[in-house]
Each structure stands twice: as C-alpha cells, then as structure tokens.
Amino acid sequence: MKIEICGNGNAKHLINMLAWIEMLGNIGHSADFKVFVDGDGNTRWKFKFEEEELQMAFDALRKELCKEYMSSHKDIENFRI
C-alpha cells in the first residue's frame, strides 16, 4: 500500500510517531500513547492512496466518522492497530 501524505503540520512529529509504531512491531512490544491533532491550526494533513479503491473506501470512512462526530460531539477514544 502506498500513501502520499500532504500537509503543513510538523512533519517531524508525524514521522517520529510512524517510526515509533514501526519499531513497536519490530521488537514485539505493545504500547499506547496520546496523539494531539490541532484541527483548528494550519496542519490540515491529507492522505492520498495510490489505489483508487482504497481511496474511495478511505473517503467514505472519513465522511462516516465526520457524521458520527457531528451527531455525538465525542472524540474516538482509541484505535487498535
């Protein structure tokens, strides 16, 4: 899977997080950690998938998550990857 990541945010922090996630898999360690995303700022990350089918599924998921948030006004508590 190839993903293009675009945005104006602090790429160093995003890359550090991705490296940490990969390292966890490499050493067989499980961890949870907080991620703060400044949605009001200028970050505006955008993820573009090379495969059209994946992009369409991602776009649909993003829209569904937006609907859920707008109706409940609650953040997602966690992700398990």
The 10s digit of each residue's pLDDT in 33-57 is: 999 888 877 778 899 999 999 999 9
Interatomic CA distance for residues 60 and 66, integer angstroms = 10
The 10s digit of each residue's pLDDT in 6-39 is: 988 888 999 999 999 999 999 999 999 999 888 8
Domain edges within the chain = 3-72
Interatomic CA distance for residues 80 and 39, integer angstroms = 22
The per-residue pLDDT for 37 is 85
5 in Cβ contact with 46 (< 8 Å): yes
Q: What is the pTM of this model?
A: 0.79
